[in-house]
Amino acid sequence: MTDLSAHSDLEHGGHEIHYDPEGCKIGFWLFLFTEVFLFGMLFIAFGVYLTGYKADFQASSAMLDVKMGGINTLVLLTSSLTMALAIRAVQVDKKGQSLFLMLVTIGFAVVFCVIKYFEWTHKFHTGIHLGSAETFGVPSVLTDMPRGQQLYFGLYYVMTGFHAFHVLVGSILIMVAMYYVANGKVNKDRITLIENAGLFWHLVDLVWIYLFPLFYLIK
């Protein structure tokens, strides 16, 4: 009588696992906040060094390809739209449409990673890397650059790398959501899993919205 959770389990038929959409959602938001702090601390580091080495940061920023970054911004924003629409499709009970939209979202994620790959390898071939000549074909010129530029590219690789890793994890989450939407376990009455996958995907987008102008457009 005093145990409320046991009571509500009985209401749901006793043996059925208790489904708590609100709890799932709040829990996932709390996880997202830890992600905000993870990237947030890197942004603070970026901000502090930007104040300290303004000229070096601007010179480094001019070395990035705005076109590549710009296209990747469009790709990520559009993928956020398709993901939001995929969730809406489940809300209105359109399973096929939702699966298609999630597939498109993953397609955009692949495009993003391919562009990122070309950006990084291009930088490696011009000698901006921390490895040896044997690994990347050319000796590192980064160690001879001014300290501010070393810091800039260090942060560039760490932050865009971390972000790309999140794109990868987000794609896996969307694939999991596709699996459960396909077999009907996620439907308009049990939507939390795809909603949370979507929230993660939008967070990846949010991080990029700050990353792009701060790295590419400060010259």
Partner 1 sequence: MSDHAHEEHHIMPIKTYILVWVALLFLTGITIGASYVNMYKFTVFTAFFIATIKVTLVLLYFMHIRYEKPLYTWMIVAVLITYGIFIGLTYADYQFRW
- Binding region for partner 1 (CB under 8 A): 4, 8, 11-12, 21-22, 26, 29-30, 33, 36-37, 40-41, 44, 47-48, 50-52, 66, 70, 73-74, 77-78, 80-81, 83-85, 88, 91-92, 188-189, 191, 198-199, 202, 205-206, 209-210, 212-214, 216-219
Q: Which is nearer to partner 1, 17 or 92 (CB)?
A: 92
Q: Which is nearer to partner 1, 76 or 178 (CB)?
A: 76
Q: Taking the complex as a whole, how short is the minimal distance between the CB of residue 145 and partner 1, in angstroms? A: 20
Q: Take residue 2 and report the two structure tokens written for it.
A: 């005093």
Q: Which is nearer to partner 1, 84 or 103 (CB)?
A: 84
Distance in angstroms (rounded) separating the CA atoms of residues 82 and 106: 10
Distance in angstroms (rounded) separating the CA atoms of residues 151 and 138: 20
Q: Number of helices and strands (H, E) in the chain?
A: 8, 0
Q: Which is nearer to partner 1, 91 or 135 (CB)?
A: 91
Largest Cα–Cα distance in the chain?
A: 73
Q: Taking the complex as a whole, how short is the minimal distance between the CB of residue 60 and partner 1, in angstroms? A: 14
The answer for residues whose C-beta is within 8 angstroms of residue 182's C-beta and 6 or more apart is 95, 99
Q: Taking the complex as a whole, how short is the minimal distance between the CB of residue 51 and partner 1, in angstroms? A: 8
Q: Taking the complex as a whole, how short is the minimal distance between the CB of residue 21 and partner 1, in angstroms? A: 5
Q: Taking the complex as a whole, how short is the minimal distance between the CB of residue 162 and partner 1, in angstroms? A: 17
**DSSP letters for 56-77:** HHHHHHHTS-HHHHHHHHHHHH
Distance in angstroms (rounded) separating the CA atoms of residues 182 and 100: 11
Q: Which is nearer to partner 1, 81 or 168 (CB)?
A: 81
Q: Which is nearer to partner 1, 29 or 117 (CB)?
A: 29
Instruction: State how far the alpha carbon of 170 is from the alpha carbons of 29, 155, 157, 197, 198, in Å.
Output: 15, 22, 19, 7, 8
